[in-house]
Structure 1
Amino acid sequence: MSTQTSLTKDATARSKAPPGSDAQSTVYRILIAISLVHLFNDSIQSVIPAIFPILKDSMHLTYTQIGWISFAINFTASIMQPVVGWFADKKPTPSILPIGMGFTFTGMLLLAFADSYMAVLISVIFVGLGSAAFHPEGSRVSHMAAGQRRGLAQSIFQVGGNAGQSLAPLLTRWIFIPFGLFGAIGFTGIAAMGIAVQIYIARWYGRMLQSGGYLRRQAAARRAPNPALRKKITAAITLLILLVFVRSWYIASIGSFYAFNLKDTFGLSTEDAQIYIFLFLAAGALGTFFGGPLADRFGKRNLIFLSMAGAAPLALLLPYANLFWTGVLLTIIGFIMLSSFSVTVVYAQMLIPGKIGTVSGLITGLAFGMGGLGALVLGNWIDVFGVSPVMQMCSFLPLLGIFTFLLPSDKLLNIWAKENGSEE
């Protein structure tokens, strides 16, 4: 009886703990809300590469021009994400969340009425700015609501984004193919819903800041490492960025150009080719969800390695598979490779604790930026060499994942944190 009373008192104490206190548990309602907005944001952003075949045919664009559109949206997000993250680390600002979705709303409204190549470029830049504003602060909200389950929390956050990306080919099939670019007007409604949810999240975010607990923990974690440790951290983050670079280029090759390869190789229509891209991205969303809990159990570095090394042999087989096995391989590769998407962000946060916005903006921003740069380069190569040879070259990229073993282990990162006195 006394034990039960004690447990009841403990539970009551935890429930009365102020927001942001060390006793805070995982706040699933906020995680689900921010994941939902991530789904809205990334489904909107991902329709841009998904409509490339439509843009190419309707505006008579070259592959290089297609690459510039991808570069415009992704590089805008890449440049601005670390800037937004750095600013928010200095001065957390909840209003950034709904403002960012407002940029996305504007971009899709402009796209619906775009009648020239330049108008398309301007509209996708607005969408990129909205994404740049959302991702660092969305990752911070996930971190704030995580409690002790950071891998799971980051997976819940990221799975919304990857699920949104996976919907883009289907949205293209159902909306843009029948209605053309004017179909983008429907996405302004999705952005408007995102703004409403962001206002709800921003209010919770503001209450967390007012409690003071979160800011105190971040200030305690934000300590400059000693010079020897700083060199090790710099080397590790540089290698991590290389791995993000490799993964982003491969994903860009599939998301931006593989539909063209399917049309050329198997004679598929644009509508049918989008189904195969959906399989890759939908499986990636599922992999993202399972990746976080698996990383919590088996180690983040180990999961990053397996996501690259496990996908490498399948990626090498993909260019030579028939249509049936192409669908199977794309599904498996998507699941394996994107299982480390959220884990990479959490690993970077462990490398540089106390700077959640900057680190999240750097890693996810690089994912967009490198993907955009990759699409630009690949578009130029495809104009010169053709789609199929370039896809064959890209199949070797996951092999570079072997360098993951040069990253410090999770255990070593915890030792570094103790040595520097910066444990969160």
Structure 2
Amino acid sequence: MNHGIKKDLPGYSYLMMAGHICTDISQAAVPALLPFLVIDRGIDYAAAAGLMFANSILSSLVQPFLGMLSDRKTMPWLMSLGMLISGLGIALIGYLESYWAIFVSVLFAGLGSAMFHPEGGRMANRVAGELKGRGMSIFAVGGNIGFVIGPIMATAAVSAWGLKGMVVILIPVLAMTGVFISQQKHFIQYTSASNLKDNSLELVAGPKDNWPGFAKLCVPLFIRSIVATGIQVFIPLYWVVILMQTQKLSSMMVTVMAISATFATLIGGRLADRFGFRRVIYLAFGTLSPLIVLLLLIQNVSLATLVVVILSAAVYIGYSPSIALGQKYLPNQLGLASGITLGLTVSIGGICSPLLGKIGDVFGLTAALYVLAGIAFIGFIGAFLIDET
């Protein structure tokens, strides 16, 4: 069985990446749709931020529990069901007129994401065999690729067919759901073989969970989530309201940020292997506040775009090292660690986004972004609490 795992590792690692892509396509569509919803549905900034909240709140509450459950019982079907629910939630948006109906649909999509990530992160760790860093890096990049494709698909579909065109998101989702369903037996086999190996190692080495170290890691991860969600919500709106660009160009900024994030995720893992986890995270948080302030001082669209590219890279360069470090802290709770580092710490930004949206409504987008710069500085301080091992 172990020989089979080593032989099939690349294929199954990339399969997990593909599932992550299809799940996060749905999540990534939400910020790209906000400018269209603001104009076409007449919602305000707080309501737009509220949709990010809807995409995150249920996911935040459910994911840690699903992670703990997956540590006790193998449930690979959660990945297939999660992908399907997430896609359906976004596809329905174009057929709903009421803001609260849209809110519930986005909430539904968030639930699907919550179902996929804990089991997906746990399974990615298992199929990686001894190559944990490589396997988790491949899985994490899947999320970034999803956030590249999602806005492109959303912008193209809405531009061509209106908001109802979002139904096209179901094409890749249904295809990948079918593939995952066909592989259920193999997922169970991988988990069973890995569990046997883990049990034999525990008899010899007895790995312990480092909860204090994990808790320290979560502090900057929570801050990073708030900053990441903040720029996803406000950068497209900033392009329309402050820089006077079109809705299409503002939505495409989500894709620009996602492309930058993808390369940063790949580079971040390599930098962490060479220089250490903490140094990479210090570098990321040390640049966030200055970059946000610099953006607010620039009126040239080209220069502003360059700053946003660097800003997005700074937000994501510590992403995959944080996931791997979190699983290293909790070797006996991989599902829970994945549910928190891949889910809860990401979703917390959506929970806080309505408050930032309210600041934007009352004091303007510029004020909201200055507040975001202050929050990023708090994250820089929190990064110093992280243990290297």
Cα deviation, 1:178-199, whole Å, max 9, x if unaligned, reads 3222112111112101202322
Matched to 2:110, the amino acid is: G
Q: Cα RMSD over matched residues?
A: 2.3
* 1:102-121 pair list within 5 angstroms: 102-121=84-103
Q: 1:280 to 1:110 in 2, by over 3 A?
A: closer
Contact 1:305 1:401 in 2 (8 A): yes
Q: What does residue 7 of structure 1 align with? A: none
Asked if residue 303 in structure 1 is aligned to residue 280 in structure 2, the reply is: yes
* 1:61-76 pair list within 5 angstroms: 61-76=43-58
Could you tell me how far 1:17 is from its partner in structure 2?
A: 4.0
* 1:191-206 pair list within 5 angstroms: 191-206=173-188
35-44 or 176-185: bigger deviation: 176-185
Could you tell me how far 1:116 is from its partner in structure 2?
A: 1.5
Q: 1:109 to 1:170 in 2, by over 3 A?
A: closer
Q: Secondary structure at the match of 1:266?
A: coil
Q: What does residue 326 of structure 1 align with? A: 304
Could you tell me how far 1:403 is from its partner in structure 2?
A: 3.0
* 1:263-282 pair list within 5 angstroms: 263-282=240-259
Cα deviation, 1:321-360, whole Å, max 9, x if unaligned, reads 2322111111112123202112111111111111110111
Asked if residue 335 in structure 1 is aligned to residue 345 in structure 2, the reply is: no
Cα deviation, 1:209-245, whole Å, max 9, x if unaligned, reads 343x4355068559695xxxx8xx4443333222111
Which of residues 187, 190, 193 is equivalent to 2:169? 187
Asked if residue 35 in structure 1 is aligned to residue 17 in structure 2, the reply is: yes
Which of residues 380, 389, 403 is equivalent to 2:382? 403
Matched to 1:293, the amino acid is: R
Contact 2:359 2:367 in 1 (8 A): no
Matches of 2:200 and 2:221 in 1, distance apart? 28
Contact 1:315 1:398 in 2 (8 A): no
Asked if residue 248 in structure 1 is aligned to residue 250 in structure 2, the reply is: no
Asked if residue 133 in structure 1 is aligned to residue 115 in structure 2, the reply is: yes
Asked if residue 90 in structure 1 is aligned to residue 68 in structure 2, the reply is: no
* 1:352-367 pair list within 5 angstroms: 352-367=330-345
What is the aligned length?
385
Asked if residue 207 in structure 1 is aligned to residue 219 in structure 2, the reply is: no
Could you tell me how far 1:266 is from its partner in structure 2?
A: 1.4
Q: Which runs of 5+ in 2 are unaligned?
A: none
In the superposition, the TM-score normalised over structure 2's length comes to 0.92
Contact 1:151 1:293 in 2 (8 A): no
Matches of 2:341 and 2:199 in 1, distance apart? 19
Q: Secondary structure at the match of 2:76?
A: coil
Which of residues 279, 286, 292 is equivalent to 1:315? 292
Could you tell me how far 1:368 is from its partner in structure 2?
A: 3.1
Cα deviation, 1:33-70, whole Å, max 9, x if unaligned, reads 11112111111111112111111222211222222221
Larger radius of gyration: 1
Contact 2:257 2:308 in 1 (8 A): yes
Q: What does residue 3 of structure 1 align with? A: none
Contact 1:309 1:402 in 2 (8 A): no
Cα deviation, 1:138-177, whole Å, max 9, x if unaligned, reads 1112111223332221111111111111233322321113
Q: 1:391 to 1:277 in 2, by over 3 A?
A: same
Q: What does residue 367 of structure 2 align with? A: 389
Q: Secondary structure at the match of 1:51?
A: helix
Q: 1:219 to 1:48 in 2, by over 3 A?
A: farther
Q: What does residue 323 of structure 2 align with? A: 345
Asked if residue 293 in structure 1 is aligned to residue 275 in structure 2, the reply is: no
Q: Secondary structure at the match of 2:179?
A: helix
Q: 1:328 to 1:305 in 2, by over 3 A?
A: same
Q: What does residue 9 of structure 1 align with? A: none
Q: 1:209 to 1:154 in 2, by over 3 A?
A: closer
Q: 1:299 to 1:187 in 2, by over 3 A?
A: same
Q: Secondary structure at the match of 1:68?
A: helix
Identity among equivalent pairs (%): 26
Matches of 1:106 and 1:138 in 2, distance apart? 19
